[in-house]
Amino acid sequence: MGPLDDQVLRDDALTATPDGLDIAVHTHWYRALPLSCVVRLDVTVDGAPVVPQVTVNGVRRAWEELTGLTHEYWFTTDPLILHVPGDAGEHRIGLELGLSIPYILTGPDRQPLLSTSRTDRTLAARRP
C-alpha cells in the first residue's frame, strides 16, 4: 500500500476514445520513479483481464517496454494512460499496480520494496 492509494483511479479516470478506453492512472507513491519500477500492471475491464498499451510522457508503448526504461521517469503529477478495448458507458475497472522502490531495500537479501495498490471501481467513460 502506498500513501496515495485513493488517488490511483480518480473519478474522471476513464475516457472513451475512437479506438477504445483510456484509463488515467496516478502513482500511489510520493516520489517520481523510473518507468522500469512499474513491475506489475494487472488490469481488468468488467472482470475480463486485458493487457494495455501505455502512454507516459507523450509516448505510447507496449506494457513490456517499460522494464528497460531506467532513465525515463513517471512523475507524481502526470498520469500513466492505459489504452484498453471498450466503449462509452460505465465499466468496472480493476487495477493492481506494483512499484519497485529502488532506494528502500528490505529483507535479508536486500531486495527493493514492492509497493502495491489495488483498486476496483465502477467509472463512467466520458468523451474527451
For residues 44-61, average pLDDT: 96
> Is residue 4 pLDDT above 80, yes or no?
no
Cβ pair 99, 37 in contact under 8 A: yes
Cβ pair 56, 47 in contact under 8 A: no
Cβ pair 16, 87 in contact under 8 A: yes
**At 1, is the pLDDT very low, low, confident or very high (cuts 50, 70, 90)?**
low
Nearest to 43 by CA among 61, 21, 58, 15: 21
pLDDT tens string 53-73: 999 999 999 999 999 999 999
DSSP 45-113: ETTEEE--EEEETTEEEEGGGGGG-SSSEE-TTSPEEEEES--SEEEEEEEEEEEEEEEEEETTTTEEE
**pLDDT, position 2:** 55
Report the predicted TM-score, pTM, of the whole model to 2 decimal places: 0.92
> Is residue 22 pLDDT above 80, yes or no?
yes
Task: Enter the C-alpha cell of residue 83.
Answer: 489504452
